[in-house]
Structures are given as structure tokens and as C-alpha cells.
Structure 1
């Protein structure tokens, strides 16, 4: 297995939920972590907690749908840390509403964060990774990319698109030594679900730390091996057979 010691990893949506769990997991494995979140105070809280535990971490405010902010965040990381080895595209939003009631603005906002964001981030991260001789991009997808349920059209469209984008990036980046992995995650006990669906049984969900460990696992594969796609779901998953 490869080591994450001295690797620099940026995690979008790193201020809570799965993003926070990924930041903590990678930091424990020896990586220097950059928690990036549109809510800077949450990103800073995660970075502070990691440093308090002896890890290496920093925080940055980032709206992944903004190319200007994306390029500046990557520029700062490379300037301060010398490189960018790992990008985890985790930031995501959703809105539970029928197609008839879904506004064009909300459609654009959801696809902007969930699909255009990973494109923008990957586009500029790949440039740095190619120039340094390698790197790894992990896209956090969802079982929403494998099947559909009502009142989530924009979310499904974004996640199906992200899965396709991930495989396209894998094909394009692989000859240049850059790995790309899609982590298809089932329901987790995070604010993303529990804050919006208070009646949801937490017992049918999984600990986000388990998904974070899957991310760590794919990042530590030997240099000659890449995992293009992996699915990790709870034993009682209801959104996948």
C-alpha cells in the first residue's frame, strides 16, 4: 500500500459530515489536509480540531461553482505547500421538490455545485498534478447515480453526470499518471440527510467515517493500481438493492 505521509489533500465540503470525516481520516493517515468549504468557519473548526490532535491541516473558504475561487484556492495551496496530491470533490447540495416546483435557478445551483464544481476543480487540479508527475482525484458520487426516486431530479441529474465525468476523467488522466476514482456512497448519518429528513431512521444509514475510510483505502493503492469506481452502502441500505 502507498503512504499518505507528506501528501497534500484538499477536501471540498470539508466543514461537516462526510467531508469532515474524510479530512480527519486522511490527517490520521499522515496527509496534510486542506478543508475547503463555502462556510469558512466550519472549515476552520475542522482544521483546528485536526491540529489539536497533532495532525497537519488548514482551511480555506471555497465556493466550488466559482472558477475564480477554485483557481485561487489551488494556487494558494501549491504556493504554500509546494504541491497538490489529492483532490476530493465532496461538496454537494440538494433540494427535495417536484420537477414542476423546481425553479430554473435552483436547477442551476444544484448542478453548479454538484457537477460543474467537480469539473472546475478537477480541470485546474489536473494541471498541477500532471506537472508534478501524478496525483489522485476522488469524486464523491451517490447511489442517486444508479437509480432514481421522486422529488430529486436535479440531484439525480448531477450525480449521474458526476459518475460519467469521473469515468471520463479517469480515461483522460490515466496516461498522465493521475488517478481518478468515483466513490458511490449510500446513505450516511450526516446533516445532509438527518437535518432535512428528521423522521429518517438513522439505523438504516452508515457512519460517514466508514465511507471516509473507503476514500483513504483507494488513495493508498500501489502506484501501479487504480480503482475507477467503488460502492459503499449500509447493510440496511434502502436506495439500492
Structure 2
């Protein structure tokens, strides 16, 4: 009787890889930094909130035992800030393997009350930011023979609700950008994933909606584990799009 041989699958090791997490100081960003550091990655906590980012980096350095973390200032709405961050990471570690475009904001206003400045602010952080960061790291990853960019999208890229026109526009745009970048990255072994995340128990929602039913939300640590799962796929496989929802998600059937 012939025995079927198991396929040879090469799963990547995450140890000593370098990951930039935008908006890394709190919420999903902080959960992701902790999760990746526990897997041995060198994590860059990139955020405007320098004090929070520094506290998180120090926490990671003292608790994980294997991961490393540094806090660097980043304004994702500034191409110059993105390039400056890249230069500092390159000087420190010599390479960039992973970019998590996580930084995001929302302004809950009707179309009549939303100002043009507020519109530009949401689009600047949620859509232009991932473009600036991806544009900065893409040549570096190509020269290094590959990398992985994960864009944190939202169910707002699949459904719509009132008083969030700028947010919906930014997230639908981010999903399209991610899919286009996926096509451009594949010939260079650069993986690009759109991670569509449902509601989480993070300041992003809790600060604006203090009365929200938290039982309908998921722990950001669960989404961070999904990010780690995406990074652990075999080198010849990419998950280009994934949705991760709480069991009681209200914005998705």
C-alpha cells in the first residue's frame, strides 16, 4: 500500500524580525506590540503619544524576556515623518520585515456638521497614513527580498451607518489600496493583508461611546493573535484578506 508523503511546508520564524506598529501606544496597537514581542520580534511602537509609547516599550522590554521594543515618534499624516521613522529603524536594526498600519481615528458627525478640516484629518490618518508608510517601507522590503504589510481595515469597509462618512470613505479606500498593493507586492515577495476587524474593547470606541454594550465587542488581544497568525503563514502563501469579528458583532450579520 502506497503511503502518501506529507507536503513540505516551511513556516517562518518570527524571532528577530523587525515590526513597525503605527498607533502602537494603546488599543489594538499596544496589544499587537505585546503579542509580537512575545513571539520574539523587535517591535517599533510608533505613535505621536511619546510618553505612552515609551511606557509600553519599557513594559515589553522588562516582561517578555525575548522580545525587544523601542518607542519612536510618528505622525502618519506626514510623509517626512514616515521617512524619518524609516531612517531611524534602519539605523537601529538594519531592516524592516513587518509593517502594521493600525493608526486610525473617527469623528462622529453628520455630513452637514462634519467640517472640511475634520474630513481631511480622518482621511489623512486612516488612508493617507498607510500610503505614506507603505511607500516608505516598500523599497526597503523589496531590497531585502520580501516583507509583510498588514492594513487594519474595518467592517466600515463592508457596511455603512450614519454619522461616519469620512470614516467609511477612508476604510473603503484603505481596502482598495490594500488590494492594489497586494498585486504590486507579490512579484517582490511582499505580502499585503487587509485585516477587517470588528468592534473591539479599545479607547477608539469606549472613549466616544462610554455606554456601549461591551459584551458585543472583542478583546483587542484576540485580534493581535490573528495578526500573529497572518505572519506565521508559509512563505509561499499570503492571506490577502481576513475578517475577525466578535461573536456578537453589531455591524455585520
Normalising TM by the smaller chain, what interval? over 0.9
**Per-residue Cα deviation, 1:3-47 (whole angstroms, up to 9, x for no partner):** 110100000000000000000000001100000001111111111
Q: Equivalent residue for 2:237?
A: 225
Quote the Cα distance in structure 2 between the aligned partners of 1:222 and 1:198: 41
Residue number among 75, 80, 87 corresponding to 1:75 in the alignment: 87
Question: Is 1:167 the equivalent of 2:168?
Answer: no
Runs of 4+ more than 2 Å apart: none
Q: Equivalent residue for 1:33?
A: 43
Q: Equivalent residue for 1:94?
A: 106
- Unmatched 5+ stretches in structure 2: 1-10
Question: Is 1:2 the equivalent of 2:12?
Answer: yes
Q: Equivalent residue for 1:44?
A: 54
TM (norm. structure 1) is: 0.99
CA RMSD after TM alignment: 0.6
Q: Equivalent residue for 2:153?
A: 141
TM (norm. structure 2) is: 0.94
| 1:111-150 matches, cutoff 5 A | 111-150=123-162
Question: Is 1:185 the equivalent of 2:197?
Answer: yes
Quote the Cα distance in structure 1 between the aligned partners of 2:181 and 2:231: 16
Q: Equivalent residue for 1:209?
A: 221
| 1:8-19 matches, cutoff 5 A | 8-19=18-29
Q: Secondary structure at the match of 1:87?
A: strand
Quote the Cα distance in structure 1 between the aligned partners of 2:149 and 2:77: 17
Displacement of 1:128: 0.4
Equivalenced residues, count: 241
